[in-house]
């Protein structure tokens, strides 16, 4: 295993063992739930959008280390951003994972330069059945953002 692969593995395990923004939000918020029926992963998200910016986020769920770490990394990446910026980040993540068409956003010469810790999940592409695990939080986020537009 290369040093970079080992670093990425450690990042995923850190987010799985110590998930960020875990819990639920009180007061008015947007809520969405997602499920990966092929493996049983569950993920839910609460968002508070104030003045056009994602002010707070909380997640709950259970499942494999990939889905839960992806959700933890996602929460850190979206707070303080507009819903449109969160949608753009979702598109960038999905291109990195090969879920959506388009050029990979990653610069192999500068690991961590585009998506930060989220780049640790790029190794999941080697295991196509696990891509849905990494994508579950992002699909759930997109659902929550769609609800915010309603």
Judge contact between 86 and 60, C-beta under 8 A: no
- Return contacts of 98-104, CB within 8 angstroms, 24+ apart: 98/125, 98/131, 99/131, 99/135
| Res 113: pLDDT | 59
Q: Assign 3-class secondary structure to 30-66.
A: EEEEEEECCCCEEEEEEEEEECCEEEEEEEEEECCHH
| Res 64: pLDDT | 94
Residues 6+ away with beta carbon under 8 Å from 122: 8, 96, 97, 106
What's the CATH architecture for 3-149?
Alpha-Beta Complex (3.90)
| Res 6: pLDDT | 83
Judge contact between 17 and 34, C-beta under 8 A: no
| Res 102: pLDDT | 77
Per-residue pLDDT 10s for the chain (150 aa) are 677 788 788 999 999 999 999 999 999 999 999 999 988 999 999 999 999 999 999 999 999 999 999 999 999 999 999 999 999 999 999 999 988 887 777 665 665 556 788 888 988 988 999 999 999 999 999 999 999 876
């Amino acid at each position: 295993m290369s040093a970079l692969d080992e670093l990425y593995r450690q990042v995923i395990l850190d987010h799985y063992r110590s998930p960020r923004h875990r819990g639920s939000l009180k007061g008015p918020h947007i809520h969405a739930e997602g499920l990966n029926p092929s493996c049983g992963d569950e993920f839910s998200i609460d968002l508070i959008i104030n003045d056009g910016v994602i002010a707070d986020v909380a997640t709950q769920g259970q499942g494999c280390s990939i889905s839960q770490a992806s959700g933890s990394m996602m929460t850190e990446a979206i707070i303080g951003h507009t819903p449109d910026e969160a949608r753009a980040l979702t598109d960038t993540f999905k291109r990195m994972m090969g879920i959506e068409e388009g050029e990979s956003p990653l610069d192999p010469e500068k690991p961590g330069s585009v998506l930060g810790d989220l780049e640790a999940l790029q190794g999941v592409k080697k295991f196509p059945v696990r891509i849905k695990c990494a994508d579950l939080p992002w699909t759930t986020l997109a659902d929550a953002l769609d609800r915010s537009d309603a």
